[in-house]
Structure 1
């Protein structure tokens, strides 16, 4: 408990202004449950936050996660798919921090099925930022791709923490750092700043399957009509908070279809068909 409280105290340094925010003990209690993978005590924490309060809570929570998960290496854009937005009762994306430990696993990794309190498997996609010109590139996909180094197949292993019937809203998901927990990386694909590559990102088919069946498939445009739109949204959101994207950072663009609960003894694969000449994929197995 002491390391958690020490990290949270960083959020209370003199001269740092915050909105009315969940108290340090509340955030510490939640952080301990999250790190221990134990269910938070009822009632659900943070049911009635404003977005300003939620961002403050996220900052305090992130200060704790940086201890076991390592340095922040980028951002996660969540709720980018209308199906997922409907589950949480919102009509816009949200963002959270991702860490070295969040995306350290490579394709084929074997992980415990109970990696979180309420673990989920989600077909996702990462981009790695080439340079800070992305912050002024606007919302044209080709202009954004000029500042993207690579596109990376990615299985996100998120932690929803609370059950689907919890009183979900956008501030609540922001306060828990959009459920960022772990992720599995595939082989990077060099980004091409061309209309053809941008069109392939939107038109590709993304398939989630396990070792017995296909679970879900969706077009690339399932993410805000074009995956690069998630990057444009994040740039604008971070700009409003005075936080530019940095060269070398990763951005998780969001889920293509509804997530599933992992089962021990099963393997899961996400296949991207139509992005490059041959389908590419990323795999994870659970024990």
Structure 2
């Protein structure tokens, strides 16, 4: 190799290193990720995460999840977040994100939850499905998802946006904080029917249902339609399967999958009782919680 060729090779290598450094400049360092998780565990607001790229968000989420697993234990499922265009707009993005659910995050209907359950606590109408078959990882349509799950579960999610100023979070920042996974209240599971004709009926009902949050007096707090999530709520699982595969992960039988928000993100208040109903989804019982 000539001197000129050597210099060119070194310059290209240096440029590659510089590019990689710039591309990952906003990924939290190990120390910063540890500090973020310490804030999460203490339920105190963490430093703001501003203007992260998608790669920075994914990198940070990986570090955060590794640390959370050491404290929270087993992964029991995943959550797809920012699946509702209205919520995407709030975080200045046009695509979903995902996080992991850990042991102890899912509470039973009727639970009484501290208003300050997190650093930046919120609640929203959501839904879970339970994975029946690993075929879900190859699902391309809502029906293929429905064929691979055995339960649809009413769910009020209790996310925690964690940082000092949540409005400064973009989509990648939401990803970096594990999509705010903290707690949720699950209702009575609704079995997926065995017969295909009945599954078609459930599939249509999931798209058409009206999901409502109400207080103890019956006053509406928020809500939306099933189709507000990616035109069909089970499209959240189709998206999630592809996103997990890109990182070498798969959903497993028994995993719980949170589909996203049918309602605005709302702040809890002491003494507030919240009920989520799923009108138009036959057999779906309301799910309830109260804040103390």
Question: Once the two structures are superposed, what CA deviation does each residue of 1:230-272 show, in whole Å capped at 9, x if it has no partner?
Answer: 0100011111112111111111000001011011111111111
The 8 Å contact of residues 201 and 227 in structure 1, kept in 2 or not, is answered as yes
Q: Is 1:143 matched up with 2:127?
A: no
Question: Once the two structures are superposed, what CA deviation does each residue of 1:65-109 show, in whole Å capped at 9, x if it has no partner?
Answer: 224433111110001111111110111111011111211x10001
The 8 Å contact of residues 273 and 280 in structure 1, kept in 2 or not, is answered as no
Spell out the pairing of 1:203-222 with structure 2 (5 A cutoff).
203-212=208-217, 213-222=219-228
Match of 2:58 in 1: 55
Q: Give structure 1 stretches of 5+ with no counterpart.
A: 1-17
The 8 Å contact of residues 113 and 264 in structure 1, kept in 2 or not, is answered as yes
TM-score (norm 2): 0.86
* Aligned with 1:281 (options 278, 286, 291): 286
Q: CA deviation at 1:167?
A: 2.3
SS in 1 for 2:150: strand
Q: Is 1:126 matched up with 2:128?
A: yes
The 8 Å contact of residues 123 and 267 in structure 2, kept in 1 or not, is answered as yes
Q: Is 1:88 matched up with 2:94?
A: no
Larger displacement relative to structure 2 (29-38 or 49-58): 49-58
Match of 1:154 in 2: 155
SS in 1 for 2:105: helix
Q: Is 1:71 matched up with 2:74?
A: yes
The 8 Å contact of residues 91 and 167 in structure 2, kept in 1 or not, is answered as no
Q: Distance in 2 between matches of 1:244 and 1:113?
A: 34
The 8 Å contact of residues 37 and 67 in structure 2, kept in 1 or not, is answered as yes
Q: Which has the larger radius of gyration?
A: 2
Question: Once the two structures are superposed, what CA deviation does each residue of 1:186-214 show, in whole Å capped at 9, x if it has no partner?
Answer: 01001235221100000111001121321
Q: Distance in 2 between matches of 1:40 and 1:238?
A: 27
SS in 2 for 1:221: helix
The 8 Å contact of residues 139 and 241 in structure 2, kept in 1 or not, is answered as no
The 8 Å contact of residues 118 and 182 in structure 2, kept in 1 or not, is answered as yes
Q: CA deviation at 1:124?
A: 0.2
CA-atom RMSD, angstroms?
1.7
The 8 Å contact of residues 121 and 261 in structure 1, kept in 2 or not, is answered as yes
Spell out the pairing of 1:237-276 with structure 2 (5 A cutoff).
237-276=243-282
Aligned length: 264
SS in 2 for 1:35: helix
Q: Distance in 2 between matches of 1:258 and 1:162?
A: 19
Q: Distance in 1 between matches of 2:164 and 2:281?
A: 34
Q: Distance in 1 between matches of 2:168 and 2:71?
A: 29
* Aligned with 1:38 (options 36, 41, 44): 44
SS in 1 for 2:185: strand
SS in 1 for 2:286: strand
Match of 1:233 in 2: 239
The 8 Å contact of residues 153 and 186 in structure 1, kept in 2 or not, is answered as yes
Question: Once the two structures are superposed, what CA deviation does each residue of 1:17-55 show, in whole Å capped at 9, x if it has no partner?
Answer: x983311111111111111011224xx1x3233222221
Q: Give structure 2 stretches of 5+ with no counterpart.
A: 1-20
* Aligned with 1:115 (options 113, 117, 139): 117
